[in-house]
Amino acid sequence: MSPSHIVLEDTEVFAELCGANDYNLSVIGSLLGTHVLTRGNELFVDSDDPGILNLFSRIISAIGDSIKEGVPATPELIIALHAELTPDGSQSFKATIDNADEENESVISRFLENCIQIPNGFGKVFPRSSGQSLYLKGIASHDLIFSIGPAGTGKTYLAMAYALRELLTRSKRKLILTRPVVEAGESLGYLPGDLEQKINPYLRPLYDAMEALVPYETIRRLEESRAVEVAPLAYMRGRSLANCIVILDEGQNTTKEQMKMFLTRLGEHTKAIVTGDITQIDLPKKTDSGLIHAITLLGNIDEVFISRLDASDVVRSSLARKIIEAYEKE
């Protein structure tokens, strides 16, 4: 059985692990379903459950190793590490003590591989569930990624984090943001302003994600240099997109014809990420969703990755998760 208390000799690591006013310990306790206490440089967990004791030991070790690798001990880090250690969403870890060290090294390695460091960004971005972790791995290793799932699962946020890193490290020359415009029930031509002013309200979720990841000055600089481009989906016809990263948001509201048109725009060294929630389709009745059709038709192509997120991946808030679960049961 793992010990119910852990001694940390490095006082700096101990202080950062605990966090201000021991806030990090309260996060760990909440994830474990118990209380984590301190005495001197010792950490205690209020439980006799072998699984919880094992996970307590593993997560403290993982956080300590991450700190030594230069990753700050934030609540987001702790939640992400817990997700890596418990891919089934349970509060305990069932690995044997014999392979604990080996497993821990594997977890840290996988975790650090999935961290996204955006140059001049607000901090590292971590996957906060096993589904998000697989999503990021899919983005890194495939050219075309479909991510479907309910609101709050990080589909757009993680896509934007990856895209900004690619853009700011000059791995891609341009980031293109697009989406279908169907909810308003009106043509863009009737909206005030130029094209960018017309489409910007529809792309607000993507801009919200950008503003949460990098300073506004960085966004403005990218826009002024035309490294970030916004375009309604209808305006993509006839283009050839090379060495770009493209995010198509609200993909569930594309028609089959629109999705085919978009996907055939992709040129050499271009990565496309299509996000959507197939439970919130706003197309007219009897009109098939291009996203549903595409994931059915293209799922067997090697360069295509399909991420399916669900309520267990909701990280927006516990209330959002409960609301989504309630609607799923209806």
Which comes out higher in pLDDT, residue 325 or 258? Answer: 258
Q: Give the CA distances from residue 256 to residues 16, 184, 203, 289, 299, in Å, rounded to whole numbers and listed in that order.
A: 51, 20, 21, 6, 15
In order of their start, the domains of the chain are 5-114 (3.30.1370), 130-329 (3.40.50.300)
CA 146 to chain centre: 13
pLDDT over threshold 50, residue 184: no
Q: How many helices and strands in the chain, by DSSP H and E?
A: 13, 9
Query: What tens digit of pLDDT does each residue of 28-68 get?
Result: 888 888 888 888 888 988 888 888 888 888 888 888 888 88
Query: Angle, to 10 degrees, between the axis of helix 50-68 and the axis of helix 75-85?
Result: 130
pLDDT of 111 higher than 70: no
CB count in 10 Å sphere of residue 9: 7
Tens of pLDDT along 212-233? 999 999 999 998 999 998 888 8
Residues with Cβ within 8 Å of residue 231, at least 6 apart in sequence: 176, 177, 178, 195, 199
Given this model, what pLDDT does residue 126 score? 80
pLDDT value, residue 306 = 95
The stretch 160-177 carries a mean pLDDT of 94
- Going by their DSSP bridges, the two strands 228-232 and 42-45 should be labelled as unpaired
**Contact assessment for residue 265 and residue 259, using Cβ atoms and an 8 Å cutoff:** no
What pLDDT score does 170 carry?
92
Between these two residues, 201 and 290, which has the higher pLDDT value? 290
Q: For the chain, report the end-to-end CA distance as a whole number of angstroms.
A: 42
Give the predicted TM-score (pTM) of the model: 0.72
Going by C-alpha positions, the residue among 257, 262, 270, 259 that lies closest to residue 303 is 270
The secondary structure of 194-247, three-state, reads CHHHHHHHHHHHHHHHHHHHCCHHHHHHHHHCCCEEEEEHHHHCCCCECCEEEE
Residues 123, 49: Cα–Cα separation, whole Å? 35
Question: How big is the CA angle at 64 (ends 59 and 70), to the nearest 5 degrees?
Answer: 125
**Hey, what are 40's tokens?**
């001197």
Closest CA to 313 of 157, 209, 145: 157
Residue spans of alpha helices (H) in 72-168: 75-85, 100-114, 130-141, 155-168
* pLDDT greater at residue 92 or residue 110: 110
Q: Is 119 helix (H, G, I), strand (E, B) or coil?
A: coil
Q: By mean pLDDT, which of 60-69, 75-84, 204-213, 275-284 is the weakest?
A: 75-84
Phi-psi domain of 12 (left: phi exceeds 0; alpha: psi -120 through 50; beta: other): alpha
- For 279, half-sphere exposure in the C-beta direction (CA atoms, 13 angstrom radius) is 14
User: Residue 150 in 3-state DSSP?
Assistant: coil
- Find, among 85, 7, 5, the residue nearest to 53 by Cα: 5
Q: Is the dihedral of CA 292, 262, 206, 214 positive or negative?
A: positive
Average pLDDT over all residues of the chain: 82
Determine the 3-state secondary structure of 37 from DSSP: strand
| pLDDT score, position 197 | 63
Mean pLDDT for 7-13 is 86
